[in-house]
Amino acid sequence: MRVAFLGLGIMGRSMATNLVNAGHEVAVWNRSAGKDVDGARTSAYPGDAVAGAEVVWMCVSDTKAVEQVLFGQGGADPALNEGMIIADSSTISPSATLRFAARVKARGVSYVDAPMTGSKIAAEAGNLIFMVGGDEAALARLQPLFQAMGKQVFHMGETGKGQATKLAMNLQIALIYEGFAEALTLAAKLGVDIEKMLPLIQASMVRSGVVDYKAPFILKRDFSPNFPLRLMLKDIRLALEAAKESRVRLPGLEAVEEVYDVAAEEGQQDLDYAATLTLLEKWAGVEVKAKAASK
């Protein structure tokens, strides 16, 4: 298929690469110059990438970025044609998604929100899991692209339901990780060997994919971004906003937001969100590390 891929960050670059590797004809665009993908045509502005495409796939930071890429100067909008599909894998506001979809619908363009989970490692391996909102016909046409980038697609309902689901998913990741980080901090302070504790966690009902993913990075003290803290904070705020709009209380997430606020103030916004552990460590006066590594 002819695909315009807009946004070549941690996730987008690997996703576009996997589309090229699956034989699709891909034109890419990124806000900052210097990012490209082997085998894809690099475009100077979004509208240039979109001209002649069947599908426009976006993976940019936030709601404002999606709005600019679609409707800002040089944006996709003037190049959109009847029959095209827009698929958005950015995590953004569900209500803004509905507004964007309504704006392009008048032009005969379908809008599918397709946020994903799996982070950097799954994006590289083509193992992402997509949670999707949109109509069946558009989803069916996107199948070859989902297959190139991911391993599973969950159809959550009409447009907007993918983003709504994604906020509920990241709410859990943020809370699960914070629970894990607080447990490690307390255990370390009490003198427990973390390398002995990790297999126990994974043998028990506490077991989680979040722990599977993050534990090796923590043991190496590698807080380089797989999912930058600033983006998890954005998702926490989106979830709290959606909760406010729908009169839902999320006291656990509100508490976690405070930890992220302090971490961001301390300059950790471009590190992985796993770096929130270092804040807990600082408050506790302890470092979580394997006993062997501390000798």
166 is catalytic: yes
**Contact (Cβ atoms closer than 8 angstroms) between residue 117 and residue 85:** no
CA distance 257 to 180: 16
Tokens 């009902």 belong to 205
If residue 237 lies in a helix (H) or strand (E), which one and from where to where?
helix 229-245
Mask 136-175, x = binds ligand NAP (CB under 6 A)? ----------------------------------------
Closest C-alpha to 101, from 5, 92, 169, 51: 92
Q: Does the footprint of ligand NAP cover residue 42 (CB under 6 A)? A: no
Q: State which of residues 28, 59, 112, 164 lies at the interface with ligand NAP (CB under 6 A).
A: 59
Residue 240 neighbours by CB distance under 10 Å? 17
- Residues near 183 by Cβ (< 8 Å), separated by ≥ 6? none
Residue 157 neighbours by CB distance under 10 Å? 12
Task: Give residues 171-230 in contact with ligand NAP (rule: CB under 6 A).
Answer: 226-228
CA distance 93 to 30: 21
Which one of 28-36, 142-150, 253-261, 286-294 is the stretch in contact with ligand NAP (CB under 6 A)?
28-36
Which one of 9-17, 147-155, 156-164, 197-205 is the stretch in contact with ligand NAP (CB under 6 A)?
9-17
Smallest distance from the beta carbon of 212 to ligand NAP, in angstroms?
14
Q: State which of residues 3, 4, 12, 253 lies at the interface with ligand NAP (CB under 6 A).
A: 12
- Give the residues lining the site for ligand NAP (CB under 6 A): 7-12, 30-32, 35, 59-61, 64-65, 68-69, 90-91, 116-117, 119-120, 226-228, 231, 235
Catalytic residues: 166
